Amino acid sequence: MLNNLSQIFDPNSPLLISMPIVFLAFQLLFLIAFALYVIYAFVIIRQTGLMARTVSAPLEKPLKILAWIHFFAALGIWILAFMARV
């Protein structure tokens, strides 16, 4: 991917590191942080199920569906971030 050091360091860049590398680092950090959120979104699904078992109320089903939508949306954003190119 990177053939030589000139692709990493750029004396004209304000950070002295070429901007594509900065963006790549930014993307990597975002992917790691958002992966944790995707896990949390899955925990919400489990917890909603547990709460519904404890208390059975009229909005039980819509909330379960919302929790699944939330999880898939989180997964979608993670994939979108993974596919993003400079």
Partner 1 sequence: MPEVFNRKQSKAIKTADKSTVLKSAKPSKPTFSAFSLLPLNFQFDVQHSEEQVLLLMRQHFVTQAGWIFLCVLLLFLPSIVPIFSFFSFLPASFLTVLTFTWYFLVLGYALERFIVWYYNVYIITNERIVDVDFYSLLFKRVSEARLDRIEDITSASGGVVQSFFDYGDVMIQTAAEVPEIEFEKVPHPDLVTKLVSELTETPVQRKK
Under rule CB under 8 A, how many of the chain's residues touch partner 1? 34
Q: How far apart are CA 31 and CA 40, in angstroms?
A: 14
Residues 6-35 binding partner 1 (CB under 8 A) are 23, 26-27, 30, 34
Nearer to partner 1 by Cβ, of 2 and 86: the residue is: 86
Q: What sign for the dihedral angle of Cα 85, 14, 32, 8?
A: positive
> Residue from 3, 4, 12, 56 that binds partner 1 (CB under 8 A)?
56
Q: How many CB atoms lie within 10 A of CB 30?
A: 15
**70 binds partner 1, rule: CB under 8 A:** yes
